[in-house]
Amino acid sequence: MSARVHGLVREFGGRRILDDLDLTIGDGEFVALLGRSGSGKSTLLRLLAGLDSAGDTGVSGTVEVPGSVAVAFQEPRLLPWRVVRDNVSLGLHRDLGGDTAARVAERALAEVGLTERADAWPLTLSGGEAQRASLARALVREPQLLLLDEPFGALDALTRITMHRLVLDLWRRHRPGVLLVTHDVDEALLLADRVLVLADGRIAAEHHPGDRPRDADRLAPLRRTVLDELGVEVTDAA
Ligand SMILES: Nc1ncnc2c1ncn2[C@@H]1O[C@H](COP(=O)(O)OP(=O)(O)OP(=O)(O)O)[C@@H](O)[C@H]1O
Ligand SMILES: [Mg+2]
């Protein structure tokens, strides 16, 4: 199991954001999480990432995650005073089996197509390149659970398509369990094994988009259902 959450409650100053939430992510399973803005997606992800913990005030329930968890956020959060390679290798303490951290970082950068930018300063990267660096930084940890919080939200449509391919590729190669938080219904239906909708503090709906590669026409009815669950009105003009 990549993650198991049971009876999770999260309150902020008496406002209940997560309300008795249950969630399981299987080994190597790719799960997408949709939900309206403010529904608690990032709150859930932070608890899975261990950035907030079950011991904090306002939190109850259980969260079980594997030993190695990596996170990538919407903003790549690279340290501007370190070159890309050093950002990727930062804090690598595990036994590298004779490899240097720099070599491991270089391998990860090659996987995301960023070899040529290894010595670049983060501020000189394009948005897509910075997001690739952030994925490489997550990958070098060989995570059993990869948490992605709207990692492509700030990218242009073309770059986003390239990144979708890259993430599917990396997932197939490394097979971590993935929880991808996104606003984008099409992205969720395209990438994930299972698509969840968070509403009223729990998983309110669950869908299986089916075999890959996926076809937009075949997914159209499911897309409408999910938009409906999110409270988005679908008109034929849109
Ligand atoms: N540290 C905090 N203190 C108080 N309230 C918080 C805190 N963190 C989150 N919240 C509240 O919890 C609710 C859920 O926030 P969260 O960031 O999880 O939403 P989200 O689903 O990720 O939204 P978005 O799609 O806009 O990113 C919001 O109303 C937010 O204001
Ligand atoms: Mg969020």
* Per-residue model confidence (pLDDT) at position 184: 93
Does residue 237 lie within any of the structural domains? no
Residues 6+ positions from 9 with CB-CB distance below 8 Å: 16, 18, 19, 20, 21, 59, 60, 61, 201
Does residue 238 lie within any of the structural domains? no
Does residue 81 lie within any of the structural domains? yes
* Mean pLDDT, contiguous 10-residue spans, the chain (238 residues): 95 95 98 96 95 86 94 92 94 68 90 95 95 92 94 89 92 96 94 97 97 91 96 70
* Domain of residue 110, residue span: 3-229
* Per-residue model confidence (pLDDT) at position 52: 86
* Per-residue model confidence (pLDDT) at position 237: 57
Does residue 236 lie within any of the structural domains? no
* Per-residue model confidence (pLDDT) at position 86: 93
Distances from the Cα of 37 to the Cα of 34, 116, 184, 189, 196, angstroms: 9, 37, 12, 19, 15
Does residue 235 lie within any of the structural domains? no
Q: Whose structure tokens read 């790719």?
A: 30
* Per-residue model confidence (pLDDT) at position 55: 76
- Name the closest ligand to CA 17: 1
**Is the distance from the beta carbon of residue 39 to the nearest atom of ligand 1 less than 6 Å?**
yes
Does residue 209 lie within any of the structural domains? yes
Dist. CA 184–CA 223, nearest whole Å: 11
* Per-residue model confidence (pLDDT) at position 94: 55
**Is the distance from the beta carbon of residue 35 to the nearest atom of ligand 1 less than 6 Å?**
yes
**Is the distance from the beta carbon of residue 41 to the nearest atom of ligand 1 less than 6 Å?**
yes
Q: What is the reported pTM?
A: 0.93
Preceding peptide of 209 cis, ω within 30° = no
Does residue 97 lie within any of the structural domains? yes
Does residue 92 lie within any of the structural domains? yes
CA of 38 to the centre of ligand 1 (A): 5
Give the CATH number, domain containing residue 189: 3.40.50.300
Rg (CA), the chain: 18
How many domains are there within the chain? 1
